[in-house]
């Protein structure tokens, strides 16, 4: 039952990706990103990584996509182009849906591997492996945290430097 759920969710995820890759107006692209993010979160949560799913919703959808939505709303035009306005986008959606159905019928058994182990390869007891990784990032992986902070800093610096004077 759960493998069926993950399978259906991943099919819908791919369809969501096509929906923003067919490049409608950024407003509709943001909408498709929200849907794809939610579906991705559902896949992760059904694989027992609840923390990562929460992170997707809070940080990705609730932080980054909100900022993107505000900037897209500031720069939008009067009649944003949706999926049915452009023949190319619409046919891209239809063809991708068709291709997924064909693949579903033609491919053999699809296997979804769900390996939830409470013991890792050394025999140590580890529950909630996604929480484990985050705690390591604050502990012995502190250098990675500093590096990530530096990368975020130079990202915003690069963006601001590129648009300086424009």
Partner 1 sequence: MSPYVTTILTLSLFIGTCLTIFSEHWFTAWMGLEINTLAIIPTTPKNPRATEAATKYFLTQSTASMVMMFAIIYNAWSTNQWTLMQLSDNWASIAMTLALAIKLGLAPFHFWVPEVTQGIPLLTGMILLTWQKLAPTAILFQIAPHLNMKILIMLAILSTLVGGWGGLNQTHLRKILAYSSIAHMGWMIIIVQINPTLTILSLTIYIMATLTMFLTLNLSNVTKIKSLGGLWNKSATTTIIILLTLLSLGGLPPLTGFMPKWLILQELINNNNIMTATLMALSALLNLFFYMRLIYASSLTMFPSTNNSKMQWYDNPTQITMLIPTTTVISSLLLPLTPLFITLS
Interacting residue ranges for partner 1, rule: CB under 8 A: 147, 150-151, 154-155, 157-158, 161-162, 165-166
Q: CB of residue 121 vs partner 1: minimum separation in angstroms?
A: 9
**Cβ nearer to partner 1, comparing 62 with 133:** 133
**Cβ nearer to partner 1, comparing 70 with 138:** 138
**Cβ nearer to partner 1, comparing 31 with 40:** 40
Q: CB of residue 107 vs partner 1: minimum separation in angstroms?
A: 18
Q: CB of residue 79 vs partner 1: minimum separation in angstroms?
A: 27
Q: CB of residue 150 vs partner 1: minimum separation in angstroms?
A: 7
* Cβ–Cβ under 8 Å, residues 61 and 44: no
């Amino acid at each position: 039952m759960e493998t069926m759920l993950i399978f259906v969710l991943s099919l819908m995820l791919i369809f969501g990706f096509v929906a923003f890759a067919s490049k409608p107006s950024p407003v509709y692209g943001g909408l498709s990103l929200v849907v794809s993010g939610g579906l991705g979160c559902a896949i992760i949560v059904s694989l027992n990584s609840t923390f990562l799913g929460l992170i997707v919703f809070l940080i990705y959808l609730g932080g980054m996509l909100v900022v993107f939505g505000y900037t897209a709303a500031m720069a939008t035009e009067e009649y944003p182009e949706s999926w049915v306005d452009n023949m190319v986008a619409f046919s891209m959606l239809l063809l991708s849906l068709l291709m997924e159905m064909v693949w579903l019928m033609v491919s053999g058994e699809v296997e979804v591997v769900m390996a939830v182990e409470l013991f890792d390869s050394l025999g140590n007891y580890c529950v909630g492996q996604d929480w484990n990784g985050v705690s390591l990032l604050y502990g012995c992986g502190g250098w990675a945290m500093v590096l990530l902070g530096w990368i975020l800093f130079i990202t915003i610096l690069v963006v601001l430097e590129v648009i300086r004077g424009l």
